[in-house]
Structure 1
Amino acid sequence: MTITQLYYVLAVAENQNFTKAAEKCFVTQPTLSMQIQKLEDQLDVQIFDRSKKPIELTEVGKKIVTQARNIVNESYRIQDIVDQQKGFIGGEFKLGIIPTVMPTLLPMFLKNFIKKHPKVKLKIEELTTEEIITRIKDGHLDAAIAATPLEDESIKERVLYFEPFVSYIPKGHRLHSNKKIEVSDLDINDMLLLEDGHCFRDGVINLCKIFKNHSDDQFQLESGSIETLIKLSNEGLGMTLLPYLHTLDINEKEKANLHYFNEPSPAREVSIIYHKSELKMQIIEALQDVISGIIRGAIAFQNVKIISPLPKK
């Protein structure tokens, strides 16, 4: 049994196709098929059910893939040990960022990080929290920046900052004249929300559930972007809640519609998250150091109440 054979098994399990897996592994399809067949012969089991289209894992194959992923990840640790011993911070690093953090945080730290660590080749993707968790577990992301806590035993979290929620309330709304907002003032039924799949949406719903101002009816107005929520709100279609960093770039006219909460301000916890195997920790720590240093000057709030991003049933 070899690490290469296990790597090929993981590739086929992911792509459900021998040809596509071979392309991803940069080998010929006969070479990949032969190595997997050798492994199956040695173990005297069928890992894949080749009669199915697309190819499926057998029951024992599912267990083998779980263990293979652990073994392959551990094999990568050897290079990690060498890199850390040499003090080397470089190589490819795949980072996921949730949509409500990407447009505000990335411009703040990316240039500084590249300048400080030029040998790191960052590959950054905008992904939902659900996609991030799946890709971290599958080994397709080295780390991610997401709202936490996620309460997942296979994922570790390092808090970067706490970002308060800010109310965006247009003129004519029942709360526009209020200088400060209480959580109990919120009514989910006149609030504009992000589309399903955004953890910030779940945080807003959880916040409203604290005072049970929540209806099980479908919300009439939802959007995929915070910028669209602001525009809809400006049209008098309801209020919305914004992450604090998003409020720094809106124009002066729109800033008149910002209303802060009485303390403790509801807030989300934003963390860098990674697999419990702790691979490429030197790059993760470098990211944490750069981001934490920059964010301290942008968010001065201290007295906050963290709202969970986990959907409540």
Structure 2
Amino acid sequence: MTITQLQYVLAVAEHKNFTLAADKCFVTQPTLSMQIQKIEEELNILIFDRSKKPIQLTAIGQKIVEQAKNIVNEAGKIKDIVEYQKGFIGGEFRIGIIPTIMPTILPMFLNNFIKKYPKIKLIIEELNTSEIITRLKNGHLDAAIAATPLEDEKIKEIVLYYEPFVAYIPENHSISKKSEIEIADLNLDEILLLQDGHCFRDGILNLCKNQGPGVKNSFQLESGSFETLVKLANEGLGTTLLPYLHTLDLNEKDKLKLRQFKEPKPAREVSLIYPQSELKIHIIDALRNTISGVVKGAITFQNVQIISPIQKK
């Protein structure tokens, strides 16, 4: 069997369709089918149950696919080793960034990175955390920037910075006179949240649940952007929490409504994450060094309490 044949097996296992898998592998469907059939004949087993729609893996096929992932990933490291030895840092690199981080971190490092590494073609996608994890595991992303810890043994994490939560309190609110606030000052019933699926939303819910009984998991409004939440708060519809970097772009009038938390400040941990296979690790290191260099001036908080981005039941 060959690495190419194993790649065909992985494509069919992912897409559950021979024609679609062939398109993704840039070969004809008969070619792909014939190569998979050769593996099955060599092993004297069936990897796929073709009688089912969509196509399903057999019991032994599931084990073969897991091993095939390891083999294909390990084979990919050979090219990485050669490129690293030659000092070549280039090629396509696919990175995902969660929506609550993309608008602030990307402008901070992208220009520096592409100037320093002109041979790297970054393919950047805005994705939520669950999509990122799935794509990292199936090989469709090389790395991502997300809130951590994710507690996933198949994902490695390199912490880039800690970003505090900052409260946005409209005028005439009961706690607007305080220069600093505590978690106990928050009322989840009046906090405006991002839509479901955002890990920053889950972080707020986890933060407020730490207050103990008496806090209801309810809210008045949901939105898809921090800008909208700020506007809604200005209309007297509630309060909200923002990541620190998002507060830097507020106008001077709105900045007067920001309230920092007392130390240790609740914060999210932002990391560069990648699969355990560690493919293209030289580009991952280049990204880490570039991002770490530009955020040092903007993020200097150390005495923080990390709030989990994982939704707690």
Scaled to the shorter chain, the TM-score interval is over 0.9
Measured after TM superposition, the shift of residue 300 of structure 1 is: 2.2
- Report if aligned partners of 2:190, 2:220 keep a CA contact under 8 Å in 1: no
CA offset digits 1:139-182 (Å, max 9, x no partner): 11100000011111111110000001000011132211111111
Q: How does 1:183-198 map to 2 (within 5 A)?
A: 183-198=183-198
Distance 1:4 1:214, change over 3 A: farther
Measured after TM superposition, the shift of residue 64 of structure 1 is: 1.2
User: When the two structures are superposed, what TM-score results if normalisation uses the length of structure 1?
Assistant: 0.97
More deviation, 12-21/94-103: 12-21
Unaligned runs of 5+ in 1: none
Task: Name the counterpart of 1:164.
Answer: 164
Measured after TM superposition, the shift of residue 229 of structure 1 is: 1.1
CA offset digits 1:11-58 (Å, max 9, x no partner): 111111111111111111110000001111111221111122221212
1:151 partner SS: coil
- Report if aligned partners of 2:193, 2:222 keep a CA contact under 8 Å in 1: yes
- Report if aligned partners of 2:48, 2:57 keep a CA contact under 8 Å in 1: yes
Measured in 2, the distance between the counterparts of 1:167 and 1:231 equals: 14
Measured in 1, the distance between the counterparts of 2:152 and 2:131 equals: 14
Query: Which amino acid in 2 is paired with 1:142?
Result: D
2:95 partner SS: strand
1:124 partner SS: strand
- Report if aligned partners of 1:99, 1:128 keep a CA contact under 8 Å in 2: yes
- Report if aligned partners of 1:208, 1:214 keep a CA contact under 8 Å in 2: no
Query: Which amino acid in 2 is paired with 1:201?
Result: R
Q: How does 1:1-313 map to 2 (within 5 A)?
A: 1-212=1-212, 215-313=215-313
Measured after TM superposition, the shift of residue 212 of structure 1 is: 2.1
Quote the sequence identity (%): 70
Measured in 1, the distance between the counterparts of 2:126 and 2:242 equals: 19
2:53 partner SS: coil
Query: Which amino acid in 2 is paired with 1:6?
Result: L
Measured after TM superposition, the shift of residue 88 of structure 1 is: 1.2
CA offset digits 1:62-83 (Å, max 9, x no partner): 1111111111111100001101
Measured in 2, the distance between the counterparts of 1:151 and 1:90 equals: 31
Measured in 2, the distance between the counterparts of 1:180 and 1:57 equals: 57
More deviation, 57-66/184-193: 57-66
- Report if aligned partners of 1:189, 1:214 keep a CA contact under 8 Å in 2: no
Measured in 1, the distance between the counterparts of 2:130 and 2:269 equals: 17
Measured after TM superposition, the shift of residue 217 of structure 1 is: 4.4
Measured in 2, the distance between the counterparts of 1:97 and 1:122 equals: 12
Distance 1:99 1:202, change over 3 A: same
Measured in 2, the distance between the counterparts of 1:163 and 1:127 equals: 19
1:125 partner SS: strand
Q: Superposition RMSD on alpha carbons, in Å?
A: 1.2
Measured in 1, the distance between the counterparts of 2:219 and 2:238 equals: 12
Measured in 1, the distance between the counterparts of 2:253 and 2:198 equals: 27
Aligned residues: 313
CA offset digits 1:65-124 (Å, max 9, x no partner): 111111111110000110111111111100010110001100110010000000001001
